[in-house]
């Protein structure tokens, strides 16, 4: 994939794998659009990499709603969406409090699916795009 001149939206870009993705994509010539809750971290990283920062809490459907459109209004068309943000379940399934199950589902599945739903029609109108969904082998095990 030619990344030079492309814009890559990375969720969960404030640290960990998402931060590394941001360095790698920027190093390959892409403009990065960074999403996470920790505004300071993504602003500092965006400044360093010549990208843009878009703070959002992906566990809040209201903040996920129209997120792609907000990013595109602020930064320009998104060519590649990397759904990287993810959280672990803090307790065994049967012990997890109701809110934890909701938060894990919102961040790990619903936000990623909703961002795909928002991005795909825009990519199709522009003739193409790429989506990378990061998962974990931990999701395949019984806890």
Ligand X SMILES: NC(=O)c1ccc[n+]([C@@H]2O[C@H](COP(=O)([O-])OP(=O)(O)OC[C@H]3O[C@@H](n4cnc5c(N)ncnc54)[C@H](OP(=O)(O)O)[C@@H]3O)[C@@H](O)[C@H]2O)c1
Q: Could you tell me the smallest distance in angstroms from the CB atom of residue 25 to ligand X?
A: 15
Which of 6, 7, 14, 104 binds ligand X (CB under 6 A)? It is 14
Which residues are 63's β-sheet partners? none
Please name the residues in contact with 120: beta carbons below 8 A apart, sequence gap of 6 or more: 129, 131
Q: Could you tell me the smallest distance in angstroms from the CB atom of residue 44 to ligand X?
A: 12
Of 124 and 138, CB closest to ligand X: 138
Of 18 and 129, CB closest to ligand X: 18
Q: By CB under 6 A, what part of segment 16-75 binds ligand X?
A: 16-18, 36-38, 57-59
Taking the C-alpha atoms of 92, 94, 97 and 103 in order, what is their torsion angle to the nearest 10 degrees?
70
Which of 23, 43, 77, 87 binds ligand X (CB under 6 A)? It is 87
Binding site for ligand X (CB under 6 A): 12-18, 36-38, 57-59, 84-87, 107, 134, 136
């Amino acid at each position: 994939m030619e990344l030079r001149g492309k814009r890559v939206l990375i969720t969960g870009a404030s640290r960990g794998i998402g931060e590394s993705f941001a360095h790698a994509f920027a190093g390959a010539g892409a403009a990065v659009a960074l999403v996470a809750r920790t505004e300071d971290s993504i602003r500092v990283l965006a400044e360093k990499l010549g990208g843009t920062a878009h703070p959002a809490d992906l566990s809040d459907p209201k903040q996920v709603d129209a997120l792609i459109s907000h990013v595109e209004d602020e930064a320009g068309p998104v060519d590649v969406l990397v759904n990287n943000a993810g959280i672990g379940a803090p307790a065994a399934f049967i012990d997890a409090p109701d809110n934890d199950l909701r938060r894990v589902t919102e961040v790990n599945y619903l936000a990623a699916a909703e961002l795909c739903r928002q991005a795909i029609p825009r990519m199709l109108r522009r003739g193409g795009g790429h989506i990378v969904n990061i998962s974990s082998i931990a999701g395949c095990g019984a806890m």
